[in-house]
Amino acid sequence: MPTRHDPFTAMAGDDWEIRVTLLDENNAPYVNPQILWALVDRQGRLKIGSGYSVSTINATSGQYAIIIPAAVTEPLAIGTYTDTIRIIDSGGVTSTLAVGAIHVAADPWSAAIVGQQMINISLSGTSRFKAVAG
């Protein structure tokens, strides 16, 4: 049975780094397993299943980092998603180790702004600029 990790919030459009310690049922570390990570929406649709990388922090203690670049997280809509960490160990055994909620906050710098319109904003003094409002 996978462990349920504590929910956390991440920003769409940011680089994400998820640090994990992978231990078996005897608290022995999984050393250099193949690590798979996925993110699904509330309807169970895969939103991220590739485009991430895994970095070893300390293999002898089972510590790794899953790194999801900003370009991969940027398209995510605001909402709650479920992530899953699965490994394939050196013996070829596949195990899902952890699942949990990630609350994704909207990327305020996203290029995907719907209903754009130009407005003028007057600042005190002589400065003027145009802003895009959605």
pLDDT at 107 (0 to 100): 87
Burial of 3 (0-12, 13-18, 19+ CB in 10 A): exposed
Q: How confident is the model at residue 132 (pLDDT cuts 50, 70, 90)?
A: very low
55-75 residue pLDDT tens: 999 999 999 999 999 999 999
Examine residue 30 and state whether it is found in any structural domain, yes or no. yes
Q: Is the pLDDT of residue 133 over 90?
A: no
Examine residue 85 and state whether it is found in any structural domain, yes or no. yes
Examine residue 122 and state whether it is found in any structural domain, yes or no. no
Q: Where are the beta strands (DSSP E) in the chain?
A: 3-4, 8-11, 16-21, 34-40, 46-48, 53-58, 63-68, 79-88, 94-105, 117-122, 128-133
13-27 residue pLDDT tens: 999 999 999 998 899
| Structural domain of 26 | 3-108
Examine residue 14 and state whether it is found in any structural domain, yes or no. yes
Examine residue 104 and state whether it is found in any structural domain, yes or no. yes
Examine residue 124 and state whether it is found in any structural domain, yes or no. no
Examine residue 78 and state whether it is found in any structural domain, yes or no. yes
- 108-127: buried (b, 16+ CB within 10 Å) or exposed (e) per residue? eeeeeeeeeeeeeeeeeeee
Examine residue 128 and state whether it is found in any structural domain, yes or no. no
